[in-house]
């Protein structure tokens, strides 16, 4: 894929994903904050607002605020910039790899925006059956799941060839 097309695809995916994430978080904040959860499809899907000062599954939530800001602000920013440099400089990533890396960049960017703007990441989705449930997450978190699936599919299809 030629460099200009690669950058255009990466940019389009990042802008769309971050925009969707921020828009859904804005709606969730307005409609769900301070209210009881909304349950759909026999409680398979729950919408409930949560603010996450730490990382995945409240990792690091007990760290002092200043250290937490560095760990969950600076490190993700370095990771996003590194992924961006790799995505732009790679000479032959296939489209699947580029889409996956773009989603990783979008996820990091969206959550960095939340941390800089609100000091926390806003989450609002929870799925599961009975007591087997995910943690509360957002659209950017879902993007990392899709990215992982795409990278695994690319790896396995490459191994089959």
68-to-63, 104, 149 alpha-carbon distances in Å: 6, 21, 29
Catalytic residue among 21, 43, 114, 123: 123
**Distance between CA atoms of residues 147 and 153, nearest Å:** 10
Determine how β-strand 121-129 pairs with β-strand 38-40: unpaired
- The β-bridge relationship of strands 45-52 and 132-133 is unpaired
| Backbone phi, psi, residue 92, to 5° | -140, 45
Verify whether residue 154 is a known catalytic residue: no
Q: Would you say the C-alpha torsion 44, 47, 49, 52 has a positive or negative sign?
A: positive
Choosing from 21, 43, 114, 141, the catalytic residue is 141
- The question of whether 141 is a catalytic residue gets the answer yes
Write out the catalytic residue numbers: 123, 141
């Amino acid at each position: 894929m030629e460099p200009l097309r690669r950058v255009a695809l990466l940019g389009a995916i990042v802008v769309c994903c971050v925009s969707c994430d921020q828009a859904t978080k804005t709606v969730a904040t307005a409609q769900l904050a301070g209210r009881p959860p909304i349950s759909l499809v026999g409680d398979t899907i729950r919408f409930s607002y949560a603010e996450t000062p730490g990382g995945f599954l409240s990792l690091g939530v007990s760290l002092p605020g200043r250290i937490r800001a560095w760990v969950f602000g600076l490190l993700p920013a370095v990771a996003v910039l590194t992924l961006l440099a790799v995505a732009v400089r790679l000479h032959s990533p296939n489209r699947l790899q580029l889409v996956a890396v773009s989603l990783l960049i979008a996820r990091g960017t969206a959550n960095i925006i939340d941390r800089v703007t609100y000091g926390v990441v806003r989450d609002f989705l929870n799925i599961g059956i009975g007591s087997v449930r995910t943690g509360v997450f957002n659209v950017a978190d879902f993007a990392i799941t899709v990215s992982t699936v795409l990278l695994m599919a690319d790896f396995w299809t490459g191994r089959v060839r």
